[in-house]
Structure 1
Amino acid sequence: MKHAVLLLIVLASFVPAKSRTPQVVENTIVVRFAPSSPDLQTWITNGRSGELPGLREMLGPHATRGFVSASTLKAVDVAHRRRSPDPLVQNTSSGIANIVVITTTQTIDPRMISRKLASRSDVVYAEPLPIQELIGTPNDPLATSQYYLAKVRASEAWDVLPDRPPVVVGIVDTGIDTTHPDLNANVWRNPGESGRDAQNRDRRSNGVDDDGNGFVDDWFGWDFVGADGASPDNSPLPGHPHGTHVGGTVAAVINNDMGVAGVGDKIKVLAVKVGRDDPNARSVERTSDGILYAAAVGATVINCSFGSSSASFADLDVINEARALGALVVAAAGNDGTDQGFYPAAHPPVLSVAATNEDDERAFFSNYHYTVDVAAPGQSILSTVAGGSYDYYDGTSMASPIVAAIAGMTKLMDPTLTPDQLRASVKANVDNIDTLNISFIGRLGSGRVNALASALRTQKKFAEMASYAIEDVDGDGLFTADDEIEITVTVANILAPLVNGRIRATPAPSNFQPIYTIADANLGPMITDDTVAASNAFTMRLPSDLPLNGDLAILISIYDGDTLIGRDLISTTVNPSYRTFSHNDVRLTVNSEGNIGYNDYPENAQGEGFRHRGYRSLLFEGGFLIGTSPTYLPNVVRGANSSYRDYSFEYIDVIRTGVDPATNLSGATAFFSDSNDRYNLGVSVRERVLQPTVDSLRSTTFVIYDITNISDSTITGLHAAMFMDWDLGDAGEGDGCAWDRVHGMGIIQNTKNPSIPTIGVAMLSPLLQDFYAIDNAGDGFAPGIYDNFLRAEKWMMMSSGIARTNSRITDVSVMIGAGPFNLQSKATQQIVFAINAEDGYTVAMEQMDRARAAAINLGLNAAPYVPVAQTDRILYLEGGPAVSSGAHRIRFELSASTPVTIDVVDIMGRPTGILVDELNLTPGIHERSVNIPSVATGVYFLRMLTYFGVTMMPIQIAP
């Protein structure tokens, strides 16, 4: 089941490596604003469209629309008014009215940007817009009959149905061929848009919204997308045949001496088209509108045979709104054949359906997961397709409508059932298939559905786990080897009262098993809709050979007396590859592979970031880089696709917390190598993150890298750096970054709120300094990192000396490091960094001076800072920074006699033309006439190389 998880990660967890990466719509994010948001008020004033002023700096030019259309909002409000005169009930749709879809003109990374926006105080949530795909595929005939009808006892259920008006099942899909002779009689028609109006016009085509639900002439459903995704109309006829197959599975006409029979009897299918007219289109759009429309016009069951592995809070809001209107959403669990949640099926209010074959075994393509509720046949399903034909399809797409039909018949038997009770009744009345699926116990739901048992509600009791919390007895929150852990469980009774409720914890299939010490607990009597905490916690001890990131899987069985009435699976990660600790005023997370702040960029759900004195996290991303060129650059920060970080480092030993014997400071130590990188250098790294506890350094953290050359050759020209994306203001708004030449440190401050801590960062070792202040959005001439972070950009920023010393006031990051230096075979170089958080620049500066002195006293490779004289630099390019090819004057300054080469390089670091190449120039200012090469329009860099380092100046060249 899907339940609330206390003290654990919700909607984000470890995912098996073979899980499919969620696909999202490019350059698009979904934001739900708080009612008080100024941006929301502006958007509403502008007719729910136009740019949002507060996001222009971050997103650039952009367009907006409602996640739910104005017509659908009207239909929802009308439906609420019809259901209840209570104004509080009528206004429940206000939340979905505040959800905005934003599409940018420039390239952005939706995952990373949405995580940034989620930190704003006026944002409830922000997320990418998932691409939701159909999950059923045509299949050559493998059977000569509809085996699944007998398997789920459908025909026996038909015989017990009462003589009542049909139940409406919404088919939110690619449209339905409503003219299909085996389906036409069971297609829903809107009574409010049927017949003749006062002027004797056909209401189906009179151009009037006769029933006042916001949709004109929606007499047999609605098409929300049309041919191009933006052309809605009142004809939900199919593009792709998928929807007709799903509709026929639910309600193909029974006993008409023709074709096939649907699983359900006394059911009308409501055609809601969310796929384009293209018969080959595999994705669906505007599904939120489709679900809400179906619920608003009277569907009590809504089938969704589509989805994505990406969870969406906006979709959950929509599903809860449909639930408030009395509709149960039934959805397919996905066809990736993996142990992963699939959405919308995995959302708690949804009845999630996995697929089985003719022998009640898991279909090879079906997902399995603790969020699955039930299973149903999904292989070789014969049903209707467009054009009056029939075909066999495979998929959880085909299993879901079987369950939707059963839910519809169950609702017909008892119209008083709420959506939650209907979902529980279907789950309670199943056939157990555990013995046929030993490896998937607890991950295929409660069993394979049974239409007759569900209609008759043979099992009238059902309870499920409402929430659980896991704690380790030693209180460090790590769940490591030999830890004793306690699990407290709360149970909700959904159906008939329980006389003597109790629960038991037993092992579920997993890569390890705990040793149970207390495995039983009591609930006692429970009335309907009652929620009760178990009488005691389950206790168990984790084994000594606990694997890293192990899957703790526990089956929770719920009984009334000796009768099993519910079952759930607890699945969570133990012995994680990261640790969170605090030994002074800073609390931070460090992982085993070179990241600081979080373990799971960009979701940032695994870890606590960098927190100062209880304040929210100030760090969005942090990580280590080492390299000799743009190619040979192992690192663990965001990459060419900003949705993902590079994974160059592999842990040698999992991170451990404790006291560092060399310094007597507490913190964490990790060992990793660069062996995961195709272009590795052959280095290993010991990383220590240590925190002083003396009062004068309570806001300081030392980060120490001992870099060892494990190759057989000397590595020359090494640079090592830390990248940190700081978000002091909401989503980084109002932040600025600068290099303090006097104290040798980077300063990050928020210009809008002086109460936010000031961050200081410094490289303390006696090596050449590298520093680059990054505008995350870029400024046209300096690269940004919202769209991507190419290795050439990383290398330029970490190897150019004290390069860009000031950012604009915007969302900022910093690159700080050391180099170049050489490292002989088997030799080790230690590099020491300090990070502090203090109240204002002056205090941060003073604390950094104390941190430097403390590092020296601790015997670390630190040294007093000697202010660096003005480095060699390019002062001026005639007409710059935007220039055309051809002759220009250039002016540059040298601090000492040196050879000089100035060339033009592209964003990948490739030379495109030499401008100056002289063997010996004296100190001072020099000016030369140069010829800018004719190259493709774009951003380039002037690169000046001297004895004393490399200087880069961004320029833009147009032919």
Structure 2
Amino acid sequence: MPSTERTEVAVPPTKRVLLVGAALVTAAGAVAPAAAVDDAGPRPRAPMHLTGDGACQIPAEQIKGRPWPLQRVLLDELWQDGKKGKGIRVAVIDTGVDDKNPQLTDAVDARAGRDYLTKGKGADPTKDEVGHGTKVAGIIAARPHKGTGFVGIAPASTIIPIRQNDADNSGDSDTMAQAIDHAVAKGADVINISQDTTKPLSRTSVLAKAVRDALAADVVVVASAGNDGLDGKVKNTYPAAFDGVLAVASSDRNNERASFSQPGDFVDVAAPGVDIVSTVPGGGQCTDNGTSFSSPFVAGVAALLKSRHPDWSPAQIATRIEQTAERSINGHDNYVGWGVIDPVRALTTSDTTSPATSPTPDPGVSKAPPPDTAAFSLAETSQERSERYATYTVGITVVVVAVIAGAAAALREARRRRNLRA
């Protein structure tokens, strides 16, 4: 997530939406593929899958160092207005959010939360048996804590914990829709959804309606793209592929798509999703991988933008994040969308006017150069490493052969001289 200055490239309106009064109007070109959307009527509910792939000991030891994604962000510049997301409420619809972790105790508004898995008195949105939701929440709002370099992107924001899924994928698209409605009712400014389903959902599905209602209420909706991308096949995942949702893929340390990240034309941006450190239930931190942990990076940036620009619409906030992302190619890419997010640039880019709700091409910058970081790298790929080792092997072999040949020649010469003396 570099913060160096780049030429800004306008983003064509592929998935953005315009809010006109109480009506929701799709921007030009915002038409979902016919194969994925059927408006003949609601489809059956779809199972929702968590998009993180790891587990760790709970509670965990503290990780002392600053995680690599945060090393790339100048936090003083990111938080230069001093707000750090204060006053912004971010709903985390997930496996619950543990508030016993010291970095989240002051961040979680348990009374505003909701547990859709447990009925009656045992319901508790701060019960997180998986640890997934607690990791997601930490990336957004973890408070600074002695003994660790880890901190959330918006460490003064408030988390609304909504327990809607578990390790058995008990949640589905209907309970997800209920959770979104609840988040809006409790005053969420941003909603993070680190779950997905590949089952096609129509515009008339209950989940699609809940997303539209959230956007109409000026709530930014951020969702993970999914982890089924190893085969490289393009496909839609939901709710990320719905119009107006800020869909997030995973990037690695080289600002390239993580191998597992699901590609598709619905992908808007990418964010770090490999070796991601975050909070776990009970205390401490551990490392995980997945688009589940890329999405909250973007949700945290959205919270900071909402705090600084409370009058901006969800589409304007999405536009700013997309236009300030780091690109290695011109235009949109199915793997990382409009690029890897640059939090500092998103917060510090000077505008005389607010971002458009639906970006238009900007003449003169359509051929922007790739980011400087693409030209300079201290890292090497496994292929480059193998080639380097092969070069060493060949070089050493040549030297050894030369030494042996030289020694043999010297030995023959010595024998020849002895024979002459004899």
Match of 1:178 among 99, 102, 105: 99
Q: Tell me the amino acid that sits aligned with residue 170 of structure 1.
A: A
Q: Tell me the amino acid that sits aligned with residue 179 of structure 2.
A: G
Match of 2:271 among 376, 388, 392: 376
2: CA distance, partners of 1:431 / 1:413: 22
2: CA distance, partners of 1:139 / 1:235: 20
Higher relative contact order (CA 8 A, sep 6+): 2
1: CA distance, partners of 2:128 / 2:84: 31
> Contact (CA 8 Å) 2:47, 2:169: kept in 1 or not?
no
1:251 aligns with 2:156: no
Q: Tell me the amino acid that sits aligned with residue 35 of structure 2.
A: S
SS of 1:247's equivalent? helix
Match of 2:80 among 152, 155, 159: 159
Q: Tell me the amino acid that sits aligned with residue 80 of structure 2.
A: D
1:131 aligns with 2:47: yes
Alpha-carbon deviations, 1:359-380, whole Å to 9, x = none? 1111000011111111100011
CA shift for structure 1 position 351: 0.2
1:309 aligns with 2:204: no
Aligned to 2:160: 270
1: CA distance, partners of 2:138 / 2:29: 44
SS of 2:240's equivalent? coil
1: CA distance, partners of 2:107 / 2:283: 15
2: CA distance, partners of 1:6 / 1:422: 18
> Contact (CA 8 Å) 2:248, 2:267: kept in 1 or not?
yes
SS of 2:96's equivalent? coil
> Contact (CA 8 Å) 2:87, 2:157: kept in 1 or not?
yes
Q: Tell me the amino acid that sits aligned with residue 411 of structure 1.
A: K
1: CA distance, partners of 2:335 / 2:316: 21
Aligned sequence identity (%) = 27
How is 1:97-116 mapped onto 2 (pairs within 5 angstroms)?
none
CA shift for structure 1 position 322: 0.9
1:395 aligns with 2:290: yes
SS of 1:128's equivalent? coil
Aligned to 2:382: none
1: CA distance, partners of 2:137 / 2:267: 22
Match of 1:2 among 9, 15, 27: 15
2: CA distance, partners of 1:347 / 1:143: 39
1: CA distance, partners of 2:27 / 2:152: 38
Match of 1:412 among 297, 307, 312: 307
Aligned to 1:470: none
Q: How large is the RMSD of aligned CA atoms in angstroms?
A: 3.4
SS of 1:329's equivalent? strand
> Contact (CA 8 Å) 2:136, 2:293: kept in 1 or not?
yes
> Contact (CA 8 Å) 1:153, 1:451: kept in 2 or not?
no
> Contact (CA 8 Å) 2:15, 2:29: kept in 1 or not?
no
CA shift for structure 1 position 409: 0.4
1:344 aligns with 2:253: no
2: CA distance, partners of 1:222 / 1:127: 26
SS of 1:559's equivalent? coil
CA shift for structure 1 position 161: 3.8
Q: Tell me the amino acid that sits aligned with residue 562 of structure 1.
A: G
CA shift for structure 1 position 243: 0.3
Alpha-carbon deviations, 1:659-715, whole Å to 9, x = none? xxxxxxxxxxxxxxxxxxxxxxxxxxxxxxxxxxxxxxxxxxxxxxxxxxxxxxxxx
Aligned to 2:224: 332
Provide structure 1 residue ranges, at least 5 long, that are not aligned to the other structure. Answer: 15-110, 120-124, 190-218, 462-494, 497-527, 532-557, 567-959
How is 1:804-843 mapped onto 2 (pairs within 5 angstroms)?
none
1: CA distance, partners of 2:262 / 2:84: 38
Residues 1:155 and 1:270: Cα distance change in structure 2 (over 3 Å): farther
Normalised by the length of structure 2, the TM-score is: 0.70
Match of 1:361 among 245, 252, 256: 256
> Contact (CA 8 Å) 2:27, 2:358: kept in 1 or not?
no
Residues 1:447 and 1:324: Cα distance change in structure 2 (over 3 Å): same
Aligned to 2:35: 13
2: CA distance, partners of 1:559 / 1:6: 13
2: CA distance, partners of 1:369 / 1:174: 26
2: CA distance, partners of 1:221 / 1:565: 47
Alpha-carbon deviations, 1:120-141, whole Å to 9, x = none? xxxxx22121111001021689
Aligned to 1:293: 182
1: CA distance, partners of 2:358 / 2:33: 26
CA shift for structure 1 position 292: 1.3
Alpha-carbon deviations, 1:807-866, whole Å to 9, x = none? xxxxxxxxxxxxxxxxxxxxxxxxxxxxxxxxxxxxxxxxxxxxxxxxxxxxxxxxxxxx
1: CA distance, partners of 2:178 / 2:135: 22
Residues 1:417 and 1:8: Cα distance change in structure 2 (over 3 Å): closer
Residues 1:231 and 1:133: Cα distance change in structure 2 (over 3 Å): farther
Q: Tell me the amino acid that sits aligned with residue 157 of structure 1.
A: L
Aligned to 1:488: none
Alpha-carbon deviations, 1:229-259, whole Å to 9, x = none? x988354421321000101111111254446
> Contact (CA 8 Å) 2:85, 2:303: kept in 1 or not?
no
Provide structure 2 residue ranges, at least 5 long, that are not aligned to the other structure. Answer: 1-13, 17-25, 58-62, 369-422
1: CA distance, partners of 2:189 / 2:336: 25
2: CA distance, partners of 1:324 / 1:411: 16
Q: Tell me the amino acid that sits aligned with residue 354 of structure 1.
A: A
Alpha-carbon deviations, 1:81-115, whole Å to 9, x = none? xxxxxxxxxxxxxxxxxxxxxxxxxxxxxx9xxx8
**For structure 1, which segment, 300-309 or 314-323, has the greater mean C-alpha deviation from structure 2 after superposition?**
314-323
2: CA distance, partners of 1:333 / 1:450: 19
1: CA distance, partners of 2:64 / 2:263: 25
1:562 aligns with 2:364: yes
CA shift for structure 1 position 296: 1.4
1:233 aligns with 2:123: yes
Normalised by the length of structure 1, the TM-score is: 0.32
Aligned to 1:261: 151
> Contact (CA 8 Å) 2:64, 2:148: kept in 1 or not?
no
SS of 1:342's equivalent? coil
Aligned to 2:320: 425
Match of 2:171 among 278, 284, 304: 284
Residues 1:298 and 1:372: Cα distance change in structure 2 (over 3 Å): same
Residues 1:253 and 1:5: Cα distance change in structure 2 (over 3 Å): closer
CA shift for structure 1 position 334: 0.8
Q: Tell me the amino acid that sits aligned with residue 339 of structure 1.
A: V
Q: Tell me the amino acid that sits aligned with residue 118 of structure 2.
A: G
Alpha-carbon deviations, 1:310-337, whole Å to 9, x = none? 2323211110111122211100011111
Q: Tell me the amino acid that sits aligned with residue 343 of structure 2.
A: A
CA shift for structure 1 position 420: 1.4
1: CA distance, partners of 2:90 / 2:183: 8
How is 1:576-615 mapped onto 2 (pairs within 5 angstroms)?
none
Q: Tell me the amino acid that sits aligned with residue 310 of structure 1.
A: K
SS of 2:301's equivalent? helix
Aligned to 2:395: none
SS of 1:127's equivalent? coil
| Matched positions, count | 333
How is 1:729-808 mapped onto 2 (pairs within 5 angstroms)?
none
> Contact (CA 8 Å) 1:174, 1:274: kept in 2 or not?
yes
Q: Tell me the amino acid that sits aligned with residue 46 of structure 2.
A: P
1: CA distance, partners of 2:347 / 2:124: 34
How is 1:522-537 mapped onto 2 (pairs within 5 angstroms)?
none
